[in-house]
Amino acid sequence: MFWRIMSLLLVLCMSAAPAWAHFGMVIPETNILTRPGPVEVQFRFWHPRENQGMDLARPLKAGVLLEDKQTDLLPALQAKKVAGHNTWQASYKVERPGDYIFYLEPRPYWEPSEDSFIIHHTKTVVSALGAEEGWDALVGAPLEIKPLTRPYGLNAGNSFSGRVLYKGKPLPDAVVEVEFFDPRGKRPASGDSYITQVIKTGTDGVFTWSLPWPGWWGFAALYTPPDLKLKKDGQDKDVELGGVLWLYAAPGGAER
């Protein structure tokens, strides 16, 4: 009887634990380069607001898009342990002006608590040497956010708009989760409901969000296609696709 009660209490405690959002992460050391040189890029699978990590297996794809040309970064990936979890990093040498879109396609991640797989196609834009062209280009992921606002040169307090596309078409009524990356714990959430902000796209697939304070912000558009399944222990399981975009808000106004 004692062990039955303890088992029940354990289940209740687990069900009461916060279900932090998962985010693929592609974070460069800077998103605006003013001179040629290398840029270091981190690739993670993380709970960004709480800075809680998960292991990221070696990605299926990692690359950079510039003017319709894609460069494979897989050979340059180096494994790196962060807080005891597997992450990856790469160094890419920027030699000419342009908007460089760094992207990641991870291996499917099995999430037991959701009884489904998670695949987050993740990207970010680095503006180099003042070109400021190509920031709204698509990398070709099945689920992707197309920026409608230039995703760099933003200050805290600015608004950002994007359009969620599934197989190239606007996705209406799609959930978009928003989180702040807080690696130093400077912005602790006042409650579980404040960790992840949630908005939805309109009929045209568009969403808008205001950036309240400086730092890296992640936008994860989520969709579970009814016709997409992967096998787990011989059974078909759902796959949650994520189209994730990361951008940086600089200090502005009262934040300076």
CATH number of the domain where residue 40 is located? 2.60.40.10
The boundaries of the domain holding residue 108 are 21-255
How confident is the model at residue 20, as a pLDDT? 59
Distance of alpha carbon 24 from alpha carbon 246, whole angstroms: 9
Distance of alpha carbon 251 from alpha carbon 256, whole angstroms: 5
Query: pTM of the entire structure?
Result: 0.90
Q: 172-194, pLDDT tens digit by residue? A: 999 999 999 999 888 888 889 99
3 lies in some domain: no
175 lies in some domain: yes
pLDDT at 6 over 60: no
145 lies in some domain: yes
173 lies in some domain: yes
What is the rounded average pLDDT of the residues 100-127?
A: 97
Residues present in the chain in total: 256
DSSP lists the bridge partners of residue 232 as 235
The model's confidence at residue 13, banded by pLDDT at 50, 70 and 90, is: very low
Range of lowest pLDDT (3-17, 38-52, 141-155, 203-217): 3-17
16 lies in some domain: no
The model's confidence at residue 17, banded by pLDDT at 50, 70 and 90, is: very low
CB 57 within 8 A of CB 104: no
220 lies in some domain: yes
77 lies in some domain: yes
How confident is the model at residue 151, as a pLDDT? 98
How confident is the model at residue 54, as a pLDDT? 94
88 lies in some domain: yes
What is the rounded average pLDDT of the residues 251-255?
A: 62
At a CB cut-off of 8 Å and minimum separation 6, what does 235 contact?
Answer: none
How many domains does one find in the chain?
1
What is the rounded average pLDDT of the residues 74-88?
A: 96
pLDDT at 109 over 50: yes
**Average pLDDT of the chain, as a whole number:** 91
How confident is the model at residue 21, as a pLDDT? 82
